[in-house]
């Protein structure tokens, strides 16, 4: 498999679609079942799986329906402070002594 940097956006989209289709099949779900669970049309699922194209809202719905919540968490992850000290230091600016 090519490194992500060497792939164009369409190739990456298709890789994502293939991974999601595999996940759907592992869960023994039809496109119709996934569409119903995600609250989207079956044609949206088919279009995603065959072309790799899907809007972000539908991708989030599909992710939730397939229990791929870790993907959503990864995409919205921020570097928020984990400790009180990190919180105190987050607005500190470096200065010369």
Q: Domain 4-76, what fold?
A: 434 Repressor (Amino-terminal Domain) (1.10.260)
- pLDDT averaged over the chain? 87
Q: What is the pLDDT of residue 97?
A: 58
Sign of CA dihedral 52, 57, 58, 62: positive
72 pLDDT tier (thresholds 50, 70, 90)? confident
3: pLDDT strictly greater than 90: no
- Going from N- to C-terminal start, the domains of the chain cover 4-76
1 pLDDT tier (thresholds 50, 70, 90)? very low
Provide mean pLDDT across the span 57-61. 96
């Amino acid at each position: 498999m090519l490194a992500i940097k060497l792939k164009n956006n369409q190739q990456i989209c298709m890789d994502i679609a293939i991974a999601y289709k595999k996940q759907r099949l592992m869960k023994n779900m039809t496109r119709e079942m996934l569409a119903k669970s995600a609250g989207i049309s079956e044609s949206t699922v088919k279009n995603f799986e065959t072309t790799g194209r899907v809007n972000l809202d539908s991708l989030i719905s599909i992710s939730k329906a397939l229990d791929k919540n870790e993907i959503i968490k990864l995409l919205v992850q921020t570097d928020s402070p984990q400790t009180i000290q990190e919180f105190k230091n987050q607005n500190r600016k470096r200065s010369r002594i």
